[in-house]
A = this chain, B = another copy of it.
Amino acid sequence: MEKNQVKKLTLTEAEWQIMECLWESAPLTGREVTERMEKRTGWSRSTSLTMLRRLGEKGAIGEAEGDGKKAFLPLISRDDAALRETEDLLSRAYHGSVSLLLSAFTKKQRLSREEIDEMYALLAELENKNEEETENA
């Protein structure tokens, strides 16, 4: 049953950058990845390939045959990865409370009108969901 690395899987800073690349543009050949990385970070080909290897070992990406050529593609979604780190941060720094995070953050950082509106919308949505559930209960 070889436990499919569903457990830890954290990405390092450098690994994130490779993943960004792959998330943006589904399957990419090694060539494509190294070129893009070269452009956006200045990494040498080798560096990118090392990252691809490590990500492969971690189970974060896989390889596939597209018309003869081997290509890399993400096996975890950006959302998943982001969430994992978010949970981490929340528990480490905010006792798991997202509202605490928001509070701390806004103490230093001004939010744009759009962000505020979006959050209102989100909260409203959440309340709806909650109500539905309550009705069903």
Q: Is A9 an interface residue (CB 8 A)?
A: no
What sequence of 0s and 1s flags, for each residue 3-34 of chain A, a beta carbon within 8 Å of any chain B beta carbon? 00000000001001000000000000000000
What's the number of copies of this chain in the assembled complex?
2
Q: Is A64 an interface residue (CB 8 A)?
A: no
Supplied contacts A86-B101, A98-B109, 19 more A-B pairs, CB within 8 Å: A13-B92, A79-B107, A82-B94, A82-B104, A83-B104, A83-B107, A85-B93, A86-B89, A98-B102, A98-B106, A98-B111, A99-B111, A99-B115, A101-B101, A102-B122, A103-B118, A103-B122, A116-B123, A123-B123
A: which residues have CB within 8 A of B? 13, 16, 78-79, 81-83, 85-87, 89-90, 92-94, 97-99, 101-109, 111, 113-116, 118-120, 122-123, 126-127, 130
